[in-house]
């Protein structure tokens, strides 16, 4: 059992971990990759940089700094999060347990420009299987996505729905060990159509798939996907936090790009520090 699990190894997550490690609490960081910084050619406007530095290099220095303080940093993709007196963080490989969790997962990916997706949100289009599977008992649904996160959502749906189809929108299915009763359609999607509620997925080859619901799980679980799973409030693609980085779920904190506002390293580091300190207090209050 960890005191705190941080999801994300960008500036926000690393900054939080520095405080947690120095407070002598057991801290695990789970990060899929180097996040937004890896895309930044050079960073020039962050404190203490004598010369412009490649974003990737700055990210790597941060991770080494955390490791040197005793923080465990692993490279895995988080696909789910659950709570039952403590938090359970599920990755593609296994499950980890902690007293508190900090979401530092950066900004959400772009929603694919598929006609009907926005229009039918809440009317058949869902972003959270564990939240909404119940509404599709005995019904036919599709999961839009082609990776491990999509498979995680499919596994949540299988016991509840009558049929689930993985729709990859023209991409190859990347899941090797999938259950035999999951059909995969690798065609490109033209639109999600219906009347008051979703009725069909229309493909670019003029074929159709009849569905009662479409669950969106493209790429990796984003910050708001993970927050929604555990009942924390989100606003658009941002996680709602108070001035001390508390989400609406006790023991769950968020910091950095995933809370919106200024999308810069300085703000991610400041919010990470606050989230780290608040998580320390929360864990101590439970002892």
Give the nearest distance from C-beta 156 to ligand FAD in angstroms.
15
- Of residues 205 through 244, those in contact with ligand FAD by CB under 6 A are 220-221
Q: Does 39 bind ligand FAD (CB under 6 A)?
A: yes
Cβ 30 vs Cβ 91: under 8 Å: yes
Give the nearest distance from C-beta 108 to ligand FAD in angstroms.
9
- Of residues 3 through 22, those in contact with ligand FAD by CB under 6 A are 7-13
Of 5, 16, 30, 89, which one interacts with ligand FAD (CB under 6 A)?
A: 30
The residue behind tokens 């007196």 is 85
Of 265, 275, 279, 280, which one interacts with ligand FAD (CB under 6 A)?
A: 265
| Stretch of 81-89, 102-110, 118-126, 194-202 contacting ligand FAD, by CB under 6 A | 102-110
Measured from the CB atom, the residue of 86 and 264 that comes closer to ligand FAD is 264
CA 174/CA 149 separation, integer angstroms: 10
CA 44/CA 277 separation, integer angstroms: 27
Of 2, 4, 17, 77, which one interacts with ligand FAD (CB under 6 A)?
A: 77
Residues forming the site for ligand FAD (CB under 6 A): 7-13, 30-33, 35-37, 39-40, 43, 45-46, 77-78, 104-106, 220-221, 256-257, 263-266, 268
């Amino acid at each position: 059992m960890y005191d705190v699990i941080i999801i994300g190894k960008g500036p926000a997550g690393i900054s939080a971990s520095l405080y947690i490690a120095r407070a002598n609490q057991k801290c695990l960081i789970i990060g899929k990759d180097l996040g937004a910084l890896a895309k930044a050619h050079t960073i020039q406007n962050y404190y203490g940089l004598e010369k412009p530095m490649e974003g990737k290099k700055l990210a790597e220095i941060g991770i080494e700094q955390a490791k040197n303080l005793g923080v465990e940093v692993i490279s895995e993709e988080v696909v789910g999060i659950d709570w039952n007196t403590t938090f359970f963080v599920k990755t593609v490989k296994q499950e980890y347990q902690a007293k508190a969790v900090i979401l530092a997962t950066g900004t959400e990916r772009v929603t694919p420009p598929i006609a009907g997706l926005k229009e039918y949100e809440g009317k058949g289009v869902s972003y959270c299987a564990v939240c909404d599977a119940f509404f599709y008992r005995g019904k036919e649904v599709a999961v839009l996505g082609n990776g491990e996160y999509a498979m995680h959502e499919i596994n949540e749906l299988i016991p509840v729905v009558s049929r689930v189809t993985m729709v990859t929108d023209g991409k190859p299915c990347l899941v090797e060990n999938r259950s035999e009763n999951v059909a995969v359609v690798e065609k490109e999607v033209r639109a999600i159509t219906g009347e008051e509620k979703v009725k069909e997925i229309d493909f670019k080859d003029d074929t159709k798939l009849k569905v009662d619901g479409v669950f969106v799980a493209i790429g990796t679980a984003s910050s708001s996907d993970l927050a929604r799973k555990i009942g924390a409030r989100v606003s658009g693609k941002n996680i709602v936090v108070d001035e001390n980085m508390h989400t609406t779920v006790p023991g769950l904190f968020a910091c950095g790009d995933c809370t919106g506002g200024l999308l810069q390293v300085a703000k991610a580091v400041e919010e990470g520090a606050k989230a780290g300190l608040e998580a320390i207090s929360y864990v101590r209050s439970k002892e």
